[in-house]
Structure 1
Amino acid sequence: MVDPTSDLGEDVDEESAPRCATCGDAIVREPTHRVVTWVEDGSVHHRHFCSDDCKADYDDAA
């Protein structure tokens, strides 16, 4: 079943998939996919990460 709230449905190909904010790899059906969401100035923003390691590397660089 495709989750209608997900940007990563089963029909998403590598070209239209979100990219990891750290390594730039396309994220397609990755069970390690992580998304960080925040609200700033009334707008919702998000970053995608292909793994906890990439998220940790991004956090360390910030």
Structure 2
Amino acid sequence: MVDPTSSLGDDVDEENAPECATCGEKIVQSPTHRVVTWVEDGTVQHRHFCSDDCRESYDAS
């Protein structure tokens, strides 16, 4: 399995790429890719964002 959170983005094509939680854009080898991770009820959760602007927009809603 390809790790879509790879810091290098190696071997991640559009089919396997994560989607931005705000705008839905596929994130492929993007230097502005951000991942927010937290633990909820003993389970690790995460959201991907294509940019800081999308992350801020998500937090504001």
RMSD of the alignment, in Å? 1.5
Question: What is the deviation of 1:6?
Answer: 6.0
Greater Rg, structure 1 or structure 2? 1
Match in the other structure for 2:5: 7
Residues paired across the two proteins, number: 57
Percent identity (aligned): 68
Q: Which runs of 5+ in 2 are unaligned?
A: none
Give the Cα separation in 2 of the matches to 1:17 and 1:6: 6
Q: How does 1:1-62 map to 2 (within 5 A)?
A: 7-8=5-6, 9-61=9-61
Report the secondary structure of 1:44's partner residue. Answer: strand
Q: Which runs of 5+ in 1 are unaligned?
A: none
Moved over 6 A (4+): none
Report the secondary structure of 1:15's partner residue. Answer: coil
TM normalised by structure 2 equals: 0.85
